[in-house]
Structure 1
Amino acid sequence: MQQAKPNLSFWQIWNMCFGFLGIQFGFALQNGNVSRIFQTLGASIDEIPILWIAGPLTGLLVQPIIGYFSDRTWNKLGRRRPYFFYGAVLTTVALFFMPNSPTLWMAAGMLWILDASINITMEPFRAFVGDNLNKQQRPLGFSMQSFFIGVGAVVASALPYILSNWFDVANTAPAGEIPDSVKYSFYAGGVVLFIAVLWTVMKSTEYSPEQLEAFGDEIDTSAPQTHNDRRYWLPGAIFTALGVAGVVLVYANSLDQQLYVLGGCLLAFGLLQWLVSLLKNGGKKDEGQQGMLVQIVDDLFTMPTTMRHLAVVQFFSWFALFSMWIYTTAAVTSVHYGSSDPTSSAYNDGADWVGLLFAIYNGFAAIAAILIPWVVRKTSLQISHSLNLICGALGLMAFLWIKDPALLWIPMIGVGIAWASILSLPYALLADSLPSQKMGVYMGMFNFFIVLPQLLAASILGTMLKLFFNGEAIYALATGAVSWVIAAVYVLTIKNRSVSH
């Protein structure tokens, strides 16, 4: 007879999610300052998106792999917690090195290392909530993660501003050097991240594989759960051909080199499907004897129906976020502060204000995370998420309407609401549709639909701005607003799920 997962206490859920405060501390420092570091080291405005490509590519590779292995791990630290701990060590080291990059190419390389390390730490946290909480408590668990994300990001995003304005730490430096306010912020971030993740590792427990099996988590039976004998020769050929055609088209017409990313990704996905088809020719029917690549690709093509719908929602939601993260500094400094010179006082004042704006939206996200479970109980996961995304869209559009930079905190209310929702409600919808034995790999695979819009943003936004908007970064934010509206409409198509009151 199957057992029901017991309700956990508030403080047990608190301890489970506390590590996200540190993870978001590092993530917010990366989002708020990497474009500034790149520009300081000599990157032009249209080069910034391609330099950000490190983030999505590392996430695309790392998260499903970590999810795959964490599903199969059980040792004295548990199932997910070993990855929390070792990822935190790597991330802390990377945060100390990132602001000391002497050249642009080294900064781009450090972003690869930093993002990979954060992904190792972050990926199992989503599955951790799915493992430990029952259906009724999962919205609370993911909202608690959003709360800690908001709190951590408030301080982290504001750190350069706080250090320069409250403690007289220099926020300018000679050409080609990173200001001390940024360096010290990254050092503090490394310490906070390690301590917060260590708290979760030490104060939380996990169910053993035998216990999880006894709970018999409900799964989405609309997707096949048996071995998949499908071969991928035809779709592999289609994606390979599209990738080759894309690369040739970019080369023949001397198009923006960032567009090579799209062609390269299509080509890689096609070749991956061919490789999996070759591996399947070995004829191993037992899932445990198949290689990791085969199982991940099979799971991708047999994902639960709910996950397929959420993939579209995530794609447009995160395209908007990456548009904002990549271009807000450039937009605010040029439009609201009138400078695109990274060595000027006006530019650095504007960049510091953007850091504070990011802190403000994360502060509102922390507040929204407290209220979201109540709104879900009154409506539904889908309706609540849709309303929250509309708030975010209005916030991004307001950057075009507001001219006084001192008033830009107002749009951050809507952005914060959308951010809290994106970090919680899609995962609550997803966790209820996943088999417990594959919670990690599917949560990692869900990252594909965060990575793909970032790859697209890094590939086409720079070109789009030059072709249609005379290179004005402010219109990247308007594009993000439209993307959030699309996501808000599509989430309403997901089959309704009752929420226990």
Structure 2
Amino acid sequence: MAKKPHLSFWQIWNLSFGFLGVQIGYSLQNGNTSRILSSLGADVGHLSYFWLAAPLAGLLVQPIIGLSSDKTWTRLGRRVPFILGGAIASALAMFFMPNSEFFTYLFPPLIFGAVMLLFMDTSFNVTMQPFRALVGDMVNDDQRNIGYSVQSFLINTGAVLGSILPFLLTYIGVSNIPAEGAKVAPTVIWAFYIGGAILLITVLWTSFTTKEFPPKEYEELNNITAEEKKHTSFLTLLKDIPETMWRLSIVQFFSWFSLFLMWVYTTSGIAQNVWGVVPTDSTSAAFNAAGNWTGVIFACYSAFAAGFSMLMPRIARIIGRKNTYRYSLLLGGLSLLSMIFIKDQYMLIFAMAGVGISWAAILAMPYAILSSSLPASKMGVYMGIFNASITIPQIAAGLLGGVILALLGGQAIFMLGVAGLSMVFAAIGVFFVHDKNEIR
């Protein structure tokens, strides 16, 4: 029986290197979308509705891209054409979104910004989904943990750079306050320009250094039978979803419900709790300082996650993947809950250590467990369907966020407590996940 070759570390690195740039862009979006939309006139109570663009795009796009890439073969490969095309569209969206106020002849600035958010996140999803499947395609069973851990490391390194970029630009002298008559600070605009350029460069690196297995060789290496290659309807695919995937999806629901609330409400929460800013004061120097600090602490949790990503394969061999996953989520939940009581901006960094560990596990452990239970001929489409376990909880959080915030008296910091409880529920859910290829 044919077996996939053992890849060198640098071959595994090149497979996911483009994710570094994608995550820089995605982190700029996460850290600055609320800030941009608030500057364009969005009310804090309505922010979660704008953020629905991201999960809705992922819910629709990723299964389609997964199914399409499973059936595609070009000179560039199976997954790479989608990765490259999505990266180009993402970079264009990153140029337009922070400049929404200059397109008033087309739409009101807030509407244009919302449209660009949808376009940008759709493009990110086109790029990101094939990266997950590409690692599953190329690495053998013995290297799955290291394959997804390297991907997690690159994602989190990109998140550090993207999150901290506006702060660094402020440090070197770029204005962090909108110019007279403008709405968005130059630090944000230039951060998006730089992020878009890096995204393109890193994706080009993966595109031209990765040689995917040709169709015949891929089938032999994955022992794909003629029966398995037969056309399967989407409804049949849903009916045949492995039990492991269903159970992981429950864990994912609570994990990503938590993360969505954190991304949406951290800026407003710490602005109120640490800087004493009222929710409507979204163009003040204090609010923009809180926005920059959100970038810094998001960079911190990503830095902690990058470091933990390199330790995860060793830890998983000792205590198992499920225990690594469970304890990481629990630590993240407790850390988010602690933010309610923190009044010092520097103490927030310590809370981010636990969030970073949970984030590293979320990016690697579900995919390492899942990829072992999926048929190779349907790796892309099932990875795309699995993305619903990321997008549906974000849609739920987006629809419920404003309601929950109102029930909590408009105190955005309490939304981080809700996020913490949700992460704790995710940790409990890991007990019920079956990992048939547990590596200890």
* TMscore range, shorter length: over 0.9
* SS of match in other structure, 1:368: helix
1:177 aligns with 2:187: no
**What SS does structure 2 have at the residue aligned with 1:303?**
coil
**Aligned letter for 1:113?**
F
In 2, Cα distance between equivalents of 1:398 and 1:455: 25
1:202 aligned partner, one-letter code: F
The amino acid of 1:14's aligned partner reads: W
Instruction: Tell me which of 104, 117, 124 is aligned to 1:118.
Output: 124
Quote the offset at 1:139 in angstroms.
Answer: 1.0
CA distance in 2: counterparts of 1:329 and 1:343, whole angstroms:
13
1:432 equivalent in alignment to 2:368: no
The whole-number CA distance in structure 2 between the counterparts of 1:352 and 1:106 is: 23
Give the direction of change, closer, same or farther, for the CA distance of 1:500–1:465 in structure 2 (3 Å limit). closer
**Superposed displacement of residue 18, structure 1:** 0.6
Contact 1:7 1:133 in 2 (8 A): yes
State the Cα deviation string for residues 377-436 of structure 1 (Å, max 9, x = none). Answer: 001111100011011112101111211112110101001101111000000001001111
Which secondary structure does the structure 2 equivalent of 1:101 belong to? helix
Give the drift of 1:217. Answer: 5.4
Q: Which residue of 1 aligns with 2:394?
A: 454
Q: How does 1:235-254 map to 2 (within 5 A)?
A: none
2:133 to 127, 138, 142: 127
Distance in 2 (alpha carbons) for counterparts of 1:149 and 1:319: 20
Residue 481 (str. 1) matches residue 420 (str. 2): yes
Q: CA deviation at 1:211?
A: 1.6
Separation in structure 2 between the aligned mates of residue 210 and residue 38 of structure 1, nearest angstrom = 49
| 1:377 matched residue in structure 2 | 317
Contact 1:67 1:442 in 2 (8 A): yes
Who is 2:404 aligned against?
464
How far apart in 1 are the matches of 2:60 and 2:437? 34
User: Are 1:296 and 2:234 an aligned pair?
Assistant: yes
One-letter identity of the residue aligned with 2:411? E
The corresponding residue for 1:316 is: 254
Contact 1:311–1:446 (CA<8 Å) still a contact in 2? Answer: yes
Does the residue aligned with 1:47 lie in a helix, a strand or coil? helix
Partner of 1:46: 45
Q: 2:215 aligns with which of 197, 202, 209?
A: 209
1:450, distance to aligned residue in structure 2 (A): 0.4
**Contact conserved, 2:316 with 2:439, CA < 8 A, in 1?**
no
1:79-98 correspondence to structure 2 within 5 Å: 79-98=78-97
SS at match of 1:497: coil
In structure 2, the CA distance between the partners of 1:315 and 1:40, relative to structure 1 (3 Å rule), is: same
**1:245-287: CA deviation from partner (whole Å, max 9, x where unpaired):** xxxxxxxxxxxxxxxxxxxxxxxxxxxxxxxxxxxxxxxxx95
What does residue 105 of structure 2 align with?
Answer: none
Give how far 1:164 is off.
1.0
- Give the structure 1 partner of residue 29 of structure 2: 30
Structure 1 residue 495, shift from structure 2 partner:
1.9
| TM-score (structure 2 length as normaliser) | 0.95
Query: CA offsets, 1:441-492, max 9 Å, x none?
Result: 000111101000000000011101202x101111111111111111111112
Cross-structure match for 2:434: 495
Q: Which amino acid is 1:34 matched to?
A: T
Residue among 266, 269, 276 paired with 1:331: 269
Q: Using the TM superposition, give the Cα deviation of residue 298 of structure 1 relative to its aligned residue in structure 2, in angstroms.
A: 2.6
> Is the 1:40–1:175 contact (alpha carbons within 8 Å) kept by the matching residues of 2?
no
Task: Report percent identity of matched pairs.
Answer: 44
Residue correspondence of structure 1 range 5-24 to structure 2 within 5 A: 5-24=4-23
Aligned-partner residue type, residue 4 of structure 2: K
What is the match of residue 267 of structure 1?
none
Name the CA shift for 1:175/1:59 in 2 (closer, same or farther; >3 Å): farther
Paired residue secondary structure (1:433): coil
- Paired residue type of 2:256: W
Task: Identify the residue that residue 391 of structure 1 maps to in structure 2.
Answer: 331
Q: 8 Å contact 1:172–1:345 — kept in the other structure?
A: no
What CA distance in whole angstroms lies between the structure 2 residues aligned with 1:210 and 1:138? 22
Q: Is the 8 A contact 1:80 1:124 kept in 2?
A: yes
User: How many Å separate the matches in 1 of 2:300 and 2:210?
Assistant: 30
- How far apart are residue 364 of structure 1 and its match? 0.6
How far residue 169 of structure 1 moved from its aligned partner, in angstroms, is 3.0
Match status 1:356 vs 2:362: no
- Alignment correspondent of 2:156: 150
Residues 40 and 176 in structure 1, CA contact (< 8 A), matched pair in contact too: no
| Map of 2:106 onto structure 1 | none
Q: Select between 174-183 and 78-87 the one with higher mean Cα deviation.
A: 174-183
The CA distance in 2 between the partners of 1:127 and 1:488, in whole Å, is 25
| Selected match of 1:108 from 87, 96, 114 | 114
For the 8 Å contact 1:42–1:176, the answer to whether it is kept is: no
Deviation of the 1:207 alpha carbon = 1.2
**Compared with structure 1, are the counterparts of its residues 218 and 305 closer, same or farther at alpha carbon in structure 2 (3 Å cutoff)?**
farther
User: Could you say what secondary structure the match of 1:18 adopts?
Assistant: helix
**Amino acid aligned to 1:132:** M
Matching residue's letter, 2:177: N
Contact 2:224 2:377 in 1 (8 A): no
SS in 2 for 1:207: coil
Q: Under a length normalisation based on structure 1, what TM-score does the superposition of the two structures give?
A: 0.83
- In structure 1, the residue matched to 2:354 is 414
Question: Which position in structure 2 is the counterpart of 1:222?
Answer: none
Alignment match of 1:190 (pick from 183, 187, 196): 196
Say if 1:174 and 1:343, in contact at 8 Å, map to a contact too: no
CA separation in 1, counterparts of 2:199 and 2:227?
A: 40
Work out whether 1:347 is the aligned partner of 2:353.
Answer: no
The Cα of 1:499 is off from its aligned counterpart by 4.3
Is the partner of 1:120 in helix, strand or coil?
Answer: helix
Q: Is the partner of 1:409 in helix, strand or coil?
A: helix
Q: Structure 1 residues 41 and 337, CA, compared in 2 at 3 Å: closer, same or farther?
A: same
* Count of residue correspondences: 431
1:218–1:432 Cα contact (<8 Å) kept:
no
Give the residue type in structure 1 aligned to 2:334: L
- Contact residue 38 and residue 104 of structure 1 kept, 8 A: yes
**Distance in 2 between the 1:174 and 1:344 partners?**
13
Question: 1:137 maps to which residue?
Answer: 143
Is the 8 Å Cα contact of residues 64 and 296 (structure 1) preserved in structure 2? no
Contact conserved, 2:176 with 2:288, CA < 8 A, in 1?
no
Query: Which structure has the larger Rg over C-alpha atoms?
Result: 1
